[in-house]
């Protein structure tokens, strides 16, 4: 999704913007641009390019632009294709105001018609350009006052950054629905879509809430609500280092993040245990039903969570795609709990579905990675994964951390309800503490997995099979592969194969079987035999020492033994590496796959 950065301060803004835009690249984009108020404060210089930030950088080479108040933007096309005209920033007719925007202005056509009638000419197909003209049309002599008027006219979800030659030392940021933070520096301040964009310059931030407007100058930050009332906001200090947003010698962020898992799993176990919210577990004690809603990889974590919560806490769980849950006639009473899982905490589908459920009387829990994100503030209770920023578009370390949190949540809820005994809890907890070193041993086999990737990289389709708690892992394996390699892949519960997908199997189809030695092993083994009998190519993810599976499979990736319920945290790791290596061998851009955005802030 689009990324915003704004700078006001003593240095030349251009390098700061370019650095920030690079940090925002992971969100997904197809064009980028900057708007800089020139040194004399009387002109806005706008430069844009279609393509990558390096294309914009090359374009700016030798242009010698200098200014101290500026905006930058990465655009993920919604209204109109990726062209220079449609790229942001957009400028008002008299070129006195420049705007960057993330989100969708739902009533833009109506506003556009009104503005056209008043003589405004539009240069782009975007919804954003109306905001630039609207600012000019409504300008009162004060940017904040104007922003209040503009915000009242806009419908939809948006984060907007505004600069103007009328008030050249100021940036105004407006937030409703899409994320926007303000960073505090010395003699300089920033706005941005997220923290990594400005982490090089500051670790102190405020996270704007919906309906808030920030007025930012180099020495001062003020926040107002939409009635123009000044608000007191408590800054947030982050402890991460900028290195979390660097590749640290790995070829891609995705590879680095896969390798970070021993640490992020460990940190999440510790983080959960040290910041347990007792009120949350009191609230869950009486729950008669738990809905888990999420999208993509987070949805797959929810599917695994269902097994654990039903097993340990004995609460019936329904897992739904947030975009589906939002528009169905769900049944909610005062004993209903709805948990939204979201790495970013900004996914529009998940947020809005949760807000609706909350309005209808459900208690809401957020499971998020990004501290201070919208979802973390909008839910009644929040649990965090402790991963730091995840930059690769494909979720990896946050998935295993979500699993760890869901397992601990289920055990803790079970303990409080009396459905889990203390020794049972302790046994699994102690075993969980060994999961990081088991993940490490899987990662040590990366070269072996790469060889397997090489063998199957030219396949047209893949099938992923698993049973019970490892069925969602088959879904996740298929999602990872398709999103970064563009190879068609399907995940299926292995027992369901005979009801249809078995027709796909021939000697060209690689079938990845997730077959750890758990309670369902024999059943899964029969499914593996069914694939082999139809000449499918079998790649198995099996428990170390399993020679029976090895004999029947074309290739095996071993994982260390574990208790049945812990296997998903291990079985997913080889699938992440397999997808990663297939995609890189095919020369795909794994960190920024085509058409995808890291944070999907539109419905």
Give the residues lining the site for ligand M6R (CB under 6 A): 295-298, 342-344, 347, 350, 393-395, 483, 596, 599-600
Q: How many angstroms separate the CA atoms of 64 and 429, rounded?
A: 59
Residue whose CB is less far from ligand M6R, 98 or 297: 297
Residue whose CB is less far from ligand M6R, 402 or 517: 402
- Reported in sequence order, the residue ranges of 467-518 that DSSP labels E, i.e. its strands, are 488-493, 510-515
Residue whose CB is less far from ligand M6R, 343 or 485: 343
Q: How many angstroms separate the CA atoms of 433 and 439, rounded?
A: 11
List the structure tokens of 79: 């209204």
List the structure tokens of 38: 């020139």
Residue whose CB is less far from ligand M6R, 1 or 14: 1
Contact in structure between 295 and 600 (CB atoms under 8 Å)? yes
Of 2, 295, 387, 513, which one is the catalytic site residue? 2
Q: How many angstroms separate the CA atoms of 123 and 90, rounded?
A: 9
Contact in structure between 420 and 448 (CB atoms under 8 Å)? no
Sequence-separated (6 or more) residues with CB below 8 Å from residue 187: 9, 10, 218, 219
List residues bridging with 383 in a β-sheet.
367
Of 48, 52, 397, 598, which one is the catalytic site residue? 598
Active site residue 2: yes
Tell the smallest beta-carbon distance from residue 395 to ligand M6R (Å).
4
Contact in structure between 23 and 197 (CB atoms under 8 Å)? yes
Tell the smallest beta-carbon distance from residue 303 to ligand M6R (Å).
13
In the complex, which residue's CB is closest to ligand M6R?
A: 296
Tell the smallest beta-carbon distance from residue 105 to ligand M6R (Å).
22
Tell the smallest beta-carbon distance from residue 486 to ligand M6R (Å).
13
Tell the smallest beta-carbon distance from residue 347 to ligand M6R (Å).
3
Residue whose CB is less far from ligand M6R, 71 or 394: 394
Residue whose CB is less far from ligand M6R, 401 or 531: 401
Helix (H) or strand (E) holding 582: helix 567-585
Report DSSP letters for 4-65, one per residue. EEEEEESS-HHHHHHHHHHHHGGG--SEEEEEEEETTSS-EEEEEEES-HHHHHHHHTT---
Residue whose CB is less far from ligand M6R, 168 or 389: 389
Phi first, then psi: give them for residue 361, nearest 5 degrees. Answer: 110, 0
Tell the smallest beta-carbon distance from residue 577 to ligand M6R (Å).
14
Question: Tell me, what DSSP letter sits at residue 309?
Answer: I
Contact in structure between 156 and 105 (CB atoms under 8 Å)? yes
Active site residue 598: yes
Tell the smallest beta-carbon distance from residue 390 to ligand M6R (Å).
9
Tell the smallest beta-carbon distance from residue 367 to ligand M6R (Å).
9
Name residue, tokens 């180099």.
218
Backbone torsion region of residue 334, taken as left when φ is above 0, otherwise alpha when ψ lies between -120 and 50, otherwise beta: alpha
List the structure tokens of 571: 């079985």
Three-state SS at 351: helix
Name residue, tokens 């889990």.
420
Known catalytic residues are 2, 598
């Amino acid at each position: 999704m689009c990324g915003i950065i704004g700078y006001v301060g003593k240095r030349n803004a251009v390098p700061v913007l370019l650095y920030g835009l690079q940090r925002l690249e992971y969100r997904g984009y197809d064009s980028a641009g900057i708007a800089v108020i020139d040194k004399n404060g009387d002109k806005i210089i706008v430069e844009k390019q279609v393509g990558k930030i390096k294309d914009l950088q090359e374009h700016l080479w030798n242009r010698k632009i200098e200014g101290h108040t500026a905006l930058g933007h990465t655009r993920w096309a919604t209204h109109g294709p990726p062209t220079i005209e449609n790229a942001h920033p957009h400028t008002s007719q008299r070129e006195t105001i420049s705007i960057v925007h993330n989100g969708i202005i739902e009533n833009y056509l109506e506003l556009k018609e009104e503005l056209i009638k008043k003589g405004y000419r539009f240069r782009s197909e975007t919804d954003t350009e109306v905001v630039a003209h609207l600012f000019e049309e409504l300008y009162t002599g004060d940017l904040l006052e104007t922003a209040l008027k503009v915000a009242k006219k806009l419908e939809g979800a948006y984060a907007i950054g505004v600069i103007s030659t009328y008030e050249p030392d100021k940036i105004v940021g407006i937030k409703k629905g899409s994320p926007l933070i303000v960073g505090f520096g010395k003699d300089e301040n920033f706005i941005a879509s997220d923290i990594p964009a400005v982490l090089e310059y500051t670790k102190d931030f405020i996270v704007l809430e919906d309906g808030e407007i920030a007025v930012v100058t180099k020495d001062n930050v003020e926040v107002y609500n939409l009635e123009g009332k000044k608000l007191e906001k408590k800054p947030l200090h982050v402890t991460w280092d900028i290195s979390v947003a660097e590749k640290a010698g790995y070829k891609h962020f995705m590879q680095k993040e896969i390798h970070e898992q021993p640490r992020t799993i460990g940190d999440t176990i510790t983080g959960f245990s040290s910041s347990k919210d007792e009120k949350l577990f009191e609230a869950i004690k009486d729950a008669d039903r738990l809905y888990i809603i999420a999208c993509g990889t987070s949805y797959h974590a929810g599917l695994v969570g269902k097994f654990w919560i039903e097993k340990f806490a004995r609460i019936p769980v329904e897992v739904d795609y947030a975009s589906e849950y939002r528009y169905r006639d769900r049944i909610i009473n005062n004993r209903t709990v709805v948990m939204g899982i979201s790495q970013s905490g900004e996914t529009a589908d998940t947020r809005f579905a949760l807000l609706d459920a909350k309005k209808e009387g459900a208690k809401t829990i957020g499971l998020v990675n990004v501290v201070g994100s919208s979802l973390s503030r909008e839910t009644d209770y929040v649990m965090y994964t402790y991963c730091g920023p995840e930059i690769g578009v494909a979720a990896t370390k946050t998935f295993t951390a979500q699993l760890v949190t869901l397992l601990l949540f289920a055990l803790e809820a079970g303990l409080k309800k009396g459905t889990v005994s203390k020794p049972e809890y302790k046994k699994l907890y102690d075993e969980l503490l060994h999961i990081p070193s088991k993940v490490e041993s899987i990662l040590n086999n990366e070269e072996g997995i790469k060889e397997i990737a090489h063998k199957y990289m030219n396949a047209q389709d893949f099938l992923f099979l698993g049973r019970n708690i490892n069925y969602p892992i088959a879904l996740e394996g298929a999602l990872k592969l398709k999103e970064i390699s563009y190879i068609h892949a399907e995940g299926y519960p292995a027992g369901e194969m005979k009801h249809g997908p078995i027709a796909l199997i021939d000697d060209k189809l690689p079938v990845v079987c997730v077959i750890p030695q758990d309670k369902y092993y024999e059943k899964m083994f029969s499914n593996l035999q069914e694939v082999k009998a139809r000449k499918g190519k079998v790649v198995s993810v099996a428990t170390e020492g399993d020679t029976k599976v090895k004999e029947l499979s074309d290739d095996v990736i071993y994982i260390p033994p574990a208790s049945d319920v812990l296997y998903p945290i291990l079985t997913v790791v080889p699938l992440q590496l397999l997808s990663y290596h297939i995609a890189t061998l095919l020369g795909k851009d794994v960190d920024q796959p085509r058409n995808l955005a890291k944070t999907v802030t539109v419905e």
